[in-house]
Amino acid sequence: MKSGCENKKSTKKRSVELPILNKTGKDRTEIRASTTSRWRAAALIGVNLLIVLHIIQWLVMGRTLSPIEPSESMYTLQQGVLNAGFIFFALAILATLIFGRYVCGWGCHIIALQDLCAWILKKIGLTPRPFRSRILVFVPLAVALYMFVWPTVNRYMLKPAGEPLIPQFTNHLITTEFWSTFPPIAVAIPFLFVCGFMTVYFLGSKGFCTYACPYGGFFSLADKVAPGRIRVTDACNQCGHCTATCTSNVLVHAEVAKYGMVVDSGCMKCMDCVSVCPNDALYFGFGKPAAAVAKSVKKTASLSWPEEIAAALVFGSAFMAVWDVYQLVPMLMALGIATVTTFVVMRSYKLLTTGDLTFYRYTLRSGGRLKNAGIAFLGFAALWTGLNAHSGWVRYHERAGALAFQSLQIPDELALARSNPDPWLSASDRENIAVGKQHFTKAVSTGLFTNVDAMPKLAWFEYLSGDPEKAADHLAKAADRQTGQGRALSLYYRGAILNRLGRFEEAIASLDKALAERPDLAAAREEKGESMWQLGRRQEAVTEWGDAVQNNPRLVLANSFLSGAAASMGRQDLAADYRSRADQSVPADARFHFMLGLRLQKAGMNDLAKENFQRAIKLDPSIQTRWVLSGGDR
Ligand code: SF4
Ligand code: SF4
Ligand code: SF4
């Protein structure tokens, strides 16, 4: 079998002869159609229909069984969240340990997509050919270890003494948040296109399974010890129909001749080879596992060893460039993109350095001259790798900005105590703000999409560097594109900043939207109460702070405001009561008391403000000097 794109004049002998390809005219025997392929297609259509029904049932009823998706197992292993995905994955691995990769061949929605793509390509006369890399074939296992084993190892190394290695399980079999761990639909569609279609077109019928799927990494290992295998009888005459039919790139006729069974762990038990064998020589049966014999029959590699190393470097760079870029590209999609980039780069190199080259039925280069198809291929390669490189540029700035953000030391409450947090910034904060702002500005201004994770962080850097107006604008833009918790937080911070700017009506509007997303966001109620108090809507402010402390009785800020409000209304007993509640949770931190003093002072609650300033100075006398040096409240 040839690789997808091969030197026309290559005189290289095949690693394994495929008899059927050598027969012509009268001698050539037709391969009979597989009857099991129809059953498998029906099973895979059934799997996809069940997935659709599952989603519809959730949309209609609001709660359903958690996603039956192996990636959900990560949450079980990391957080003890027992879900349907973990149970399915555990049972699937168990089944594979006995029967081999039937779950892959007959129960995976991604293989259904890959098969559909291969079928469409064949209908238009293009037969996908396998790309064979000896290094990249280990990617699925490496990713599987990273996803499913590394978190446990990490916890073992970091866990405090006495904490159990296995987290305590909690029942999450039923969920209302069915889609929460999946990418948005706008990402899911290109995800399926890249992983289901592009990988097949460029890397072969099982391109995604071979080079990207982490579950396949475990299934492939489990298959090696499975006693259930495709086996052969003495009736085999080495006609090669089985190998010609196999879409999993298995050299069936050679393996059964050498070992009496298929040992290649890429075999997904589709049963096509069994169905097409003219001598009915193949069957599924139990016996010695593949691990008991030597490695599978050697296949012709698509790359030399130096090329393999170059391909691994391209793959690694392409993967790191796109993984989580714009906080949009999930890991599996990044793996799919990286495999396509690797193929495209390596083939472009070959196209530029070889005399003759074809791709499917197209001649890319002949007699050392580039053909139109070759120019088109290079054009696509330039566009694709250019996009990949651009993503890498954006991702680099996103990562560097996020690193600077993580290193900030100033607490949010202190920064939000006044519209200019400058006096509280340490030297390292100032440096991180400058660096982070620069990186995020580049990422946001050159990015093709709005990064809803970078935008609020850039807004925070703008606020800390003294531009609250710009910060509020960025947060509004971020909130427009966010959902759930992220949107609630952006709207809350925007409301808080607008409050510091004295734009109280706008602050209330923003905080109301935050509370619509997250009614339990107490900090938003504290801020909203403050806006109302400033607007003279005092009774509404008291109600808002009252709502905040109802669910969180020890909230320091809301209790302090309630204490100040009660004092201003002459209710000293109530004021003392709220103050003692605030005191129960107030940290012995000078900066916190100073922040509290500033907020109360702004609200005209001067006695309480003074008390907090005095406490702050008692805890840290230098705080007064810093305040005076900064020019007081500007
Ligand atoms: S290797 Fe992954 S994508 Fe391929 S069939 Fe198995 S589970 Fe599905
Ligand atoms: S197993 Fe069947 S199809 Fe395969 S080489 Fe032998 S006779 Fe031919
Ligand atoms: S070896 Fe046979 S059963 Fe296995 S994937 Fe290939 S055709 Fe299907």
Measured from the alpha carbon of residue 233, the closest ligand is 2
- In this structure, are residues 108 and 269 in contact, taking their beta carbons and an 8 Å threshold? no
Mean pLDDT score, 9-32: 57
291 alpha-carbon distance from chain centroid: 33
Q: Does the Cβ of 211 fall within 6 Å of ligand 1? A: no
Residue in 28, 236, 264 to alter for ligand 2 test, most ligand atoms within 8 A of Cβ: 236
Mean pLDDT score, 293-313: 88
Structure tokens that stand for 455 in this block: 């935008």
Closest atom of ligand 3 to CA, residue 264: 1
Mean pLDDT score, 380-393: 97
DSSP states along 607-631 = HHHHHHHHHHHHH-THHHHHHHHTT
Element (H, E) at 363: strand 362-366
Can you tell me the distance from the alpha carbon of 348 to that of 381, in angstroms, rounded to the nearest whole number? Answer: 7
Can you tell me the distance from the alpha carbon of 410 to that of 396, in angstroms, rounded to the nearest whole number? Answer: 25
Q: Does the Cβ of 267 fall within 6 Å of ligand 1? A: no
Structure tokens that stand for 523 in this block: 């900090």
**In Å, what is the CA distance from 311 to each residue of 308, 349, 355?**
5, 11, 21
DSSP states along 153-195 = HHHHHHPPTT--SSPPPEE-SEES-TTTTSPPHHHHHHHHIII
What does the angle CA 290 – CA 292 – CA 298 come to, to the nearest 5 degrees?
Answer: 55
Residue in 34, 256, 272 to alter for ligand 2 test, most ligand atoms within 8 A of Cβ: 256
Mean pLDDT score, 374-379: 97
Taking CA atoms only, the protein residue closest to ligand 3 atom 6 is: 246
At 283, is the secondary structure helix, strand, or coil? Answer: strand
Mean pLDDT, the chain, rounded, equals 90
Q: Does the Cβ of 336 fall within 6 Å of ligand 1? A: no
Q: Is the four-CA dihedral 101, 103, 106, 107 of positive or negative sign?
A: negative
Q: Where do the H-state alpha helices sit in 501-570?
A: 504-517, 522-534, 538-551, 556-568
Taking CA atoms only, the protein residue closest to ligand 1 atom 4 is: 209
Q: Does the Cβ of 196 fall within 6 Å of ligand 1? A: no
Taking CA atoms only, the protein residue closest to ligand 3 atom 8 is: 270
Can you tell me the distance from the alpha carbon of 350 to that of 310, in angstroms, rounded to the nearest whole number? Answer: 13
Whether the per-residue pLDDT at 33 is higher than 70: the answer is yes
Can you tell me the distance from the alpha carbon of 137 to that of 112, in angstroms, rounded to the nearest whole number? Answer: 21
Q: pLDDT digits over 205-234, tens only?
A: 999 999 999 999 999 999 999 999 999 999
Q: What is the pLDDT of residue 436?
A: 97
Taking the centre of ligand 2 as the mean of its atom positions, its distance from the CA of residue 201, in whole angstroms, is 28
Taking the centre of ligand 1 as the mean of its atom positions, its distance from the CA of residue 540, in whole angstroms, is 57
> Going by DSSP bridges, is the β-strand pair 81-82/170-171 parallel, antiparallel, or unpaired?
parallel
- In this structure, are residues 172 and 101 in contact, taking their beta carbons and an 8 Å threshold? no
Can you tell me the distance from the alpha carbon of 229 to that of 223, in angstroms, rounded to the nearest whole number? Answer: 9
Taking the centre of ligand 2 as the mean of its atom positions, its distance from the CA of residue 260, in whole angstroms, is 11
Q: What is the pLDDT of residue 441?
A: 94
Taking the centre of ligand 3 as the mean of its atom positions, its distance from the CA of residue 11, in whole angstroms, is 29
Q: pLDDT digits over 428-482, tens only?
A: 999 999 999 999 999 999 999 888 889 999 999 999 999 999 999 999 999 998 8
- In this structure, are residues 199 and 208 in contact, taking their beta carbons and an 8 Å threshold? yes
Mean pLDDT score, 86-100: 97
Taking CA atoms only, the protein residue closest to ligand 1 atom 5 is: 104
Q: pLDDT digits over 497-517, tens only?
A: 999 999 999 999 999 999 999
Whether the per-residue pLDDT at 633 is higher than 70: the answer is no
Name residues contacting ligand 2 (CB within 6 A): 232, 236-242, 252-253, 256, 277, 279, 281-282
Q: pLDDT digits over 314-330, tens only?
A: 999 999 999 999 989 99
Measured from the alpha carbon of residue 105, the closest ligand is 1
Q: What is the pLDDT of residue 102?
A: 97
Sequence-ordered list of residues with C-beta below 8 angstroms from that of 417, at least 6 positions apart, any chain: 594, 595, 598, 599
Tokens 């100032």 found at? 430
Can you tell me the distance from the alpha carbon of 92 to that of 85, in angstroms, rounded to the nearest whole number? Answer: 10
Q: What is the pLDDT of residue 4?
A: 41
Confidence label for 1 from pLDDT (cuts 50, 70 and 90) = very low
Taking the centre of ligand 2 as the mean of its atom positions, its distance from the CA of residue 78, in whole angstroms, is 47
pTM for the whole thing? 0.85
φ/ψ of residue 324, rounded to 5: 70, 15
Q: Which long-range contacts (C-beta less than 8 Å, at least 24 apart) are formed by 494-500?
A: 494/459, 495/524, 495/527, 495/528, 495/531, 496/416, 496/523, 496/527, 497/416, 497/419, 497/463, 497/468, 497/471, 497/472, 498/472, 499/527, 499/530, 499/531, 499/534, 500/416, 500/418, 500/419, 500/468
